[in-house]
A = this chain, B = another copy of it.
């Protein structure tokens, strides 16, 4: 019964009741008074969530292991001993008051995928591994460990006053043997991740599946404007060097430049501080952040160039000094085009509407893209709400996403 025909595997579907029940059960671990979930990485609640997943893996008959970086793998051994593993999964840690779908859906759908295949007696060519990445929310710790990118500096950072080194020990990792967890490019056949969109594009358009083109790069710039903090009563309008006026024009310029260009890039002024910040003093100093995200660093650089030029012109006209710097840059991580095609075809076979789209948020998948071909599947997030107790993905979308993950894994295994 381990050999199945071509038609057979295309009919496989996950056990939707079991999947939805597992989502509820994991979502009840660390529930907050507001109905959200609090499973901060390395906390007791996080450990309870991880044990719940390990229990599911074991019960389904997977080989379970935790690596030195704290990642949990539930494995179905393949028949080809030379074949690289196909990985698929997500994370079970959450933000302080998050939702149950962010991470939870992708983790449980990955377990459900392997469990379905075991129940079907499916004989895979590749090793198939459902993976729960450690500590996604505060630093992609587990996936960075898998990619051999956990540095001494990162290990010395703290979570709630405890070094990451000590945190890893607490959940069964082994910071002294991180090399054992590390992988090289080419070590995996592919990585897939199912995740709620965390934005409102699918929900608004009524499309069931987002085939992720890549995870956007993020460039973060700081602008400092120095005017003069004059008395707001005694300084005539034409004698002011008002840093807030310059800042307001720059906020609008960011929006204008970003919207003028066709595409899915975004630009945001999310933080803006005014000094001295008194109603009766002309603002003498304003600092603000400009964050630009796109799948292409070239687009980001071009947009920043335009914003930068406009900002300097504005500051000069208003007699305000401008200082600027790029403080951080995270490079884009592209999804593999063959994997995107494969997911798109599997969605069509499942009669699910789908569109290509970037992921505007970060995911472990961006780290895995450095190790092998990566693909992500998005399902709708109602109202685009994320990192909130109000986060909600309808049950049918959860099931659609899990079936698409299952079918994509099968296509990868057989391709």
Contacts and interface: CB of A to CB of B under 8 A. Distances in A.
A235 B279 contact: no
A237 B249 contact: no
A266 B239 contact: no
A251 interface: yes
A62 B216 CA distance: 79
Interface string A240-262: 00101101110110010011000
B244 A361 contact: no
A355 to B, nearest CB: 13
A262 B272 CA distance: 32
Interface string A383-401: 0101100000000000000
A79 interface: no
Given A200-B239, A361-B233, A270 B283 contact: yes
Among A251, A281, A289, max chain B CB count under 10 A is at A251
Contacts of A271: 274, 277-279
A166 interface: no
| Count class of interface residues, chain A | 35 or more
Given A270-B277, A270-B281, A234 B291 contact: no
Nearest to A360: B233
Contacts of A220: 279
Interface in A189-243: 197-201, 204, 216, 218, 220, 230-239, 242
28 contacts: A198-B231, A199-B233, A199-B239, A200-B239, A204-B239, A231-B361, A231-B386, A232-B266, A232-B360, A233-B266, A235-B266, A235-B384, A237-B259, A237-B266, A244-B251, A244-B269, A244-B270, A247-B251, A248-B251, A252-B252, A268-B279, A270-B276, A270-B282, A270-B283, A271-B277, A272-B277, A273-B274, A280-B291
